[in-house]
Structure 1
Amino acid sequence: MTEDPIVFTIFLIFSGAAVLATVALYARQALLVAYILLGILFGPWALGLVTDPDLIQEISHIGIMFLLFLLGLNLPPKKLVGLLGEATRITLISSTIFALVGMGIAALFGYTFAEQLLIGAALIFSSTILSLKLLPTTALHHQRMGEIIISVLLLQDLLAIGILLALEVHGKGDIPASELAMLLLALPILVLFAYLFTRYILIKLIRRFDKIQEYIFLTAIGWCLGIAELAALLGLSQEIGAFIAGVTLATSPIALYIAESLKPLRDFFLIIFFFSLGAGFQLPILEQVLIPALVLATLSMLFKPLIFKWLLKDSVDKPERALEIGVRMGQVSEFSLLIALLALNLGVIGHEASYLIQATTLLTFIASSYYVVQRYPTPIAVSDKLRRD
């Protein structure tokens, strides 16, 4: 290994991904699966070429922030409010069903009640990254299916943040009323600040220097990461901060240009993210949780499409479209990984329950991405007929 482990790791990720992606395309397989498998192969539990997957995962979170920032750029506030209001019923009913299914399976395998609650909560969420990454841009921004997926995912993400906050409060024990009030007020404070700053300062600067592309590029990145860091300071997730940064900037006439210019940067970090998923998974633990993980992963990918098809029957024009939405959201979320790790660190659940959630998430990531790429239009489809940008 070279003296700079970061450079060597980046070399491994992208050189290895290029080789494995070539093999995957010739074999007509999904690229995202190739990135995850590459992480497992190079990770500490296989060849051991990458010894610090946590560091790589921290870097990869920038890709998640850019993904949500770009999503927000295409959702002006008025449109966003309408989407969330319509999706509330669907999200609440589906979340309740998925949580009960997860709790039931956890109870059958003998996990404690607290672990049942967390395993059930983990099953609620669908992956924002995977769902949006595999949705064509035309469907994402201009079709009914894209609007429904976005709105449900956003509500799920807000619910996940609520669970993470609840875990943090539980971990701190008795906290002062002032600190609790700050946690509750963090989201509206962040939204108000971002809106006022964008309206009275940021958009005016963009209009003044909109002919200088480099300035627009740097300003957009700085705004995204700045609001993400502010969100973290207020006790929220950086991902939600990045999304708010995008939404508040969506009213700018240059929003679409910013979205297009940041796509390559987003993809760079997302490749690192999928690699880090594989590298961070502990293969020796898999044997202990394999059976319950397979059961949870199978039920997630079977029940979610059916439940969403039932709930969306009056919201889309064709029944098969409702089923497609469910299939695209059939996996478990990256937020479930965060919940599992935080709950383990706080002592709320044991190692086995945490690894169960991680294994279920990874299995559904691999299986769901493979199935969606083979069956539905995606930007990375191996079939020319299904490839849609």
Structure 2
Amino acid sequence: MQQDIVFSFFLIFSGALVLATLALYTRQPVLIAYIALGALIGPFGFGLIEHPESVADMADIGILFLLFLLGLDMQPSALFAVVRKALPVALASSAVFFLAGFGLPVVFGFTLQDGIIIGLAMMFSSTIIGLKLLPTTVLHHKHMGELMIGLLLLQDMLAILVLILLGVMEGNGTMPVWQPFAALPLIAAACYLIVKGALLPLITRFDRFQEYLFILAIGWCLAVAEAAKLVGLTHEIGAFIAGVTLATSPIAQYIAISLKPLRDFFLVMFFFALGAQFNLQLLSDVALPAIVLAIVVLGLKPLAFRVLLGRFSERRELAWDVGFRLGQISEFSLLIAFVATESSLLSEQGALLIQATAILTFVVSSYIVVFNYPNPIAVSERLRRD
């Protein structure tokens, strides 16, 4: 049955209300309620929403706003310092996670090519999970928040490189491998000049008109996101650059507060779409390797970040905190699985293994953070930080 967008929104947000209420009463993370709702009423559940692709496309906007708001909380000088410090940790941890992700599938009978793609998908941590559970007002201006953002940005750049290499392996790569890395400083410099020369004077002149500032912020975020996509980066990196370059504005915090409800609206759809796209009927085919791989990811990632960050003079408590917050695989992993499957570089079972591992690690790592570390959706008053 074909539904219009209003009916789809009714199902998503009414269902989210019911399951989120149940989750809060039973002291569970609300993110799990949104994912469970997608699995229940999506095409592989009761089929009430047969085509979640349009919802997933809209949900991507929530990720852009999330990265934009994070950028608004970071000064450029602090960002450059933390990226330099995080670079060796990001490279070393990615190598460790690749080896683990490559070896286990091969042991379970997957081909070497599947093992390579799965290993690549295991290298990254979820920007959405990690930053959604990071308190905005408490940690973004602290060293831990800056360190996490630096690690995630470097992982995003590595993910872009992987996606480009997959295009080259398929034979359809039209973009040089070096282009995104050359484009990044150029687009950042251009955005800085535009903010200084045009946006800040406009903000100063029309700062009494709240609706205008709201539109300016959204327009700037989406414009830079689209520009980044055109030069070979991702929408998410573009949105983050838009936020960082606007962080020097005197009303950066006002813009951040204004956009939070809009961000949360789209993020509900993101987690719903994640659950809706998971094929429960084929789960038995990869259940055992997915469970084993998820256990390895959930145990190895916190330990690896603890050891690597400890070697660079980070406190043990901070290193464990960062490690558990980044103890899952990424939405980029799902994108890698999709691109590799479309290019016939990854089998259907391999793609399903990545999807199942993503869901399992998203769920379990969310539980770990929600019940043990400060976050905006903690069920404990002691840990709840907005």
Q: In structure 1, what is the equivalent of residue 127 of structure 2?
A: 128
Instruction: State the distance in 2 between where 1:109 and 1:314 align.
Output: 34
Q: Relative to structure 1, is the Cα distance of residues 328 and 100 closer, same or farther in structure 2, using a 3 angstrom cutoff?
A: same
CA contact (8 A) 2:3 2:49 kept: no
Alignment of 1:340 with 2:337, yes or no, is yes
CA contact (8 A) 2:161 2:177 kept: no
Q: Which deviates further from its counterpart, 72-81 or 53-62? A: 72-81
Alignment of 1:263 with 2:247, yes or no, is no
Q: In structure 2, what is the equivalent of residue 204 of structure 1?
A: 201
Q: Which deviates further from its counterpart, 250-259 or 42-51? A: 250-259
Q: In structure 2, what is the equivalent of residue 385 of structure 1?
A: 382
Unaligned runs of 5+ in 1: none
Residue 317 (structure 1) shift: 6.1
Deviations 1:134-155 (A, max 9, x none): 1112443232221221111111
Residue 169 (structure 1) shift: 3.2
Q: In structure 2, what is the equivalent of residue 363 of structure 1?
A: 360
Q: Which deviates further from its counterpart, 52-61 or 181-190? A: 181-190
State the SS of the aligned residue for 2:328: coil
CA contact (8 A) 2:164 2:177 kept: no
One-letter amino acid matched to 2:286: V
TM-score, normalised via structure 1 length: 0.95
Alignment of 1:215 with 2:212, yes or no, is yes
Instruction: State the distance in 2 between where 1:131 and 1:71 align.
Output: 12
Q: How does 1:307-346 map to 2 (within 5 A)?
A: 307-313=304-310, 315=312, 318-346=315-343
Q: Relative to structure 1, is the Cα distance of residues 83 and 288 closer, same or farther in structure 2, using a 3 angstrom cutoff?
A: same
Unaligned runs of 5+ in 2: none
Deviations 1:7-28 (A, max 9, x none): 1111111111111111111111
Instruction: State the distance in 2 between where 1:152 and 1:73 align.
Output: 18
One-letter amino acid matched to 1:248: T
Instruction: State the distance in 1 between where 2:302 and 2:138 align.
Output: 18
Instruction: Give the aligned CA root-mean-square deviation in angstroms.
Output: 1.8
Alignment of 1:250 with 2:247, yes or no, is yes
CA contact (8 A) 1:139 1:145 kept: no
Sequence identity percentage: 53
Residue 309 (structure 1) shift: 1.1
Q: In structure 2, what is the equivalent of residue 186 of structure 1?
A: 183
Alignment of 1:65 with 2:64, yes or no, is yes
State the SS of the aligned residue for 1:348: coil
Structure 2 counterpart of 1:299, from 289, 296, 310: 296
Residue 49 (structure 1) shift: 0.6
CA contact (8 A) 1:144 1:316 kept: no
Q: In structure 2, what is the equivalent of residue 44 of structure 1?
A: 43
Structure 1 counterpart of 2:226, from 229, 239, 258: 229
Instruction: State the distance in 2 between where 1:285 and 1:65 align.
Output: 31
Q: How does 1:81-100 map to 2 (within 5 A)?
A: 81-100=80-99
TM-score, normalised via structure 2 length: 0.95
One-letter amino acid matched to 1:76: Q
Residue 236 (structure 1) shift: 2.2
Instruction: State the distance in 2 between where 1:162 and 1:91 align.
Output: 14
Instruction: State the distance in 2 between where 1:185 and 1:317 align.
Output: 31
State the SS of the aligned residue for 1:381: coil
Q: Which deviates further from its counterpart, 260-269 or 113-122? A: 113-122
Q: In structure 2, what is the equivalent of residue 157 of structure 1?
A: 156
CA contact (8 A) 2:38 2:274 kept: yes
- Count the aligned residue pairs: 386
Q: Which deviates further from its counterpart, 98-107 or 231-240? A: 231-240
One-letter amino acid matched to 1:236: L
Instruction: State the distance in 1 between where 2:328 and 2:177 align.
Output: 33
CA contact (8 A) 1:305 1:326 kept: yes
One-letter amino acid matched to 1:102: G
CA contact (8 A) 1:84 1:155 kept: yes
Instruction: State the distance in 2 between where 1:4 and 1:116 align.
Output: 39
Deviations 1:348-377 (A, max 9, x none): 111111111111101111111122112222
Q: Relative to structure 1, is the Cα distance of residues 384 and 183 closer, same or farther in structure 2, using a 3 angstrom cutoff?
A: closer
CA contact (8 A) 1:94 1:307 kept: yes
CA contact (8 A) 1:316 1:322 kept: no
Q: In structure 2, what is the equivalent of residue 137 of structure 1?
A: 136
